[in-house]
Structure 1
Amino acid sequence: MTTSKTSRLLAPALLALALAGGAYLAYQSLGARETAPRVDYVLLDGKKADSSQWRGQVMLVNFWATSCTTCVKEMPQIVATHEKFKGRGFDTLAVAMSYDPPAFVAKFAESRQLPFGVAIDNTGQIAQSFGRVQLTPTTLLINKRGQVVKRYVGEPDFAALHALVEKLLAESV
């Protein structure tokens, strides 16, 4: 076989091999999960906290605003989800967006007796850290290993969310 014939046969084989390798890597990355960022925040009660405290728990982080009608509508279901799972290694953090007036957030949290931590993202840094969250509500579900398992933009299907929380609570760290 001449060199030119070998090259013509070898080039498609190398291309096929490269494509197969790329497809394999893309398939592998589907299972890869984004690690939740490390963020510092201050709760409405003045207590300082950070995301390293979430390790070993399943966390629901809900970005919301008092001016968001869907956020206000879904909040009772966020509360019910928290109440249902809180004794089993599950916690919730509601993060009010930077544009939400702190007095409105505090009044909302108090009048609704929110049973979980509420932080105000004054600088927008928390939303930025979680992938430039801009739309509310945006809810993230984080597993015990600190990986973002699901990101909901808009109101979640709470039955499906609860099923996923059950599954994540059953996983080992």
Structure 2
Amino acid sequence: MIASTPAENRPPHIWFEVSLLMSFAFERKKMSRSKLVYTALAAIAIMAGLLYYSGRDAAPQEADPARLAELEALKTGDMKKLVLHKSPQPVSTASYETEAGGEATLADHKGKTILLNFWATWCAPCRKEMPMLAELQAEYGGEDFEVITVATGRNDPAAMKRFFEEIGVDNLPLHRDPSSAVAREMGVLGLPATVLIDESGDEIARLLGDAHWSSDSAKAIIEALLPEG
């Protein structure tokens, strides 16, 4: 796939080299039509390659090793299942349906640490861990941290509301990802799945399956991710 870059960012020598190659080809009167076609294709391939490499994004910045070591040391019990990424990963750009009926994306939450939980009304482990996520939100939720719960796949809004009522959760959002677009773009293959997103909007860790999110270990990890003071 050819990367597209703004015209002003394209190296000017690319066009010069291609035009020079084409001029040389057409000036050769004895060159057959097939050779002209091959030459033109070669010129296009060269141009595409140069544009691709000139427009490539820089490699993702690696996480601070000392920071990773600090977080790793805080992992005990269920939190040992939490996988910390050596390099921050991009998150989905797809939109999800908010509880209020509008649309939002994960980019809307940049500026705060996010615990993103994918769940479903049929998911038994989700029922077990959701109250613990609610406890995290009650203790740390605010301008620096938020628990965002997104029901992915076919989940009836009434059933979602009943699910929360039955487990006594009233401080988490009933967002929906009915087409599983967000979950699919983020490679979520099973539920529950929980993703930690930093204030820059990048995924920094992931845990598959349910976990004891109200444990001392989980809280220590969340506290380590929040601004000091």
Give the structure-2-normalised TM-score: 0.57
User: 2:227: which partner in 1?
Assistant: 170
* Aligned positions, number: 144
Does structure 2 retain, via aligned residues, the 8 Å contact 1:61–1:141? Answer: yes
**Counterpart of 2:208 in structure 1: which amino acid?**
V
Structure 1 runs not aligned, ≥5 long: 1-27
Note closer, same or farther for the CA distance 1:110–1:152 as it changes in structure 2 (3 Å cut).
same
Aligned to 1:38: 93
Partner of 1:129: 185
In the alignment, the residues of structure 2 paired with residue 110 and residue 41 of structure 1 have an alpha-carbon distance, to the nearest angstrom, of 22
CA 39–114 in structure 1, closer or farther in 2 if over 3 Å, else same: farther
Q: Unaligned stretches of 5+ in structure 2?
A: 1-61, 64-84
Can you list the C-alpha shifts for 1:113-149, whole angstroms capped at 9, x where unaligned?
A: 4313221111110111211x12111011111111212
Whether the 8 Å CA contact 1:65–1:96 is kept in 2: the answer is yes
Instruction: Describe the superposition over 1:79-101 as per-residue Cα deviations: whole angstroms up to 9, x where unpaired.
Output: 00111111351112111121333
Q: 1:116 aligns with which of 145, 148, 172?
A: 172
Q: Which has the higher strand share?
A: 1
Q: Scaled by the length of structure 1, what TM-score is found?
A: 0.73
Q: For the Cα contact (< 8 Å) 1:44–1:106, is it kept in 2?
A: no
Assess, with a 3 A threshold, how the Cα gap between structure 1 residues 63 and 38 changes in structure 2: closer, same or farther: same
Question: Which structure's CA Rg is the greater one?
Answer: 2
Q: How far, CA to CA, are the matches of 1:151 and 1:68 in structure 2?
A: 18
Cross-structure match for 2:130: 75
Residues 91, 116 of structure 1: 8 Å contact kept: no
The percent of aligned pairs where both chains have the same amino acid is 28
Quick one: distance in 2 between partners of 1:62 and 1:166? Answer: 18
Question: Which structure 2 residues correspond to residues 1-173 of structure 1 after superposition, within 5 A?
Answer: 31-110=86-165, 112-131=168-187, 133-158=188-213, 159-170=216-227
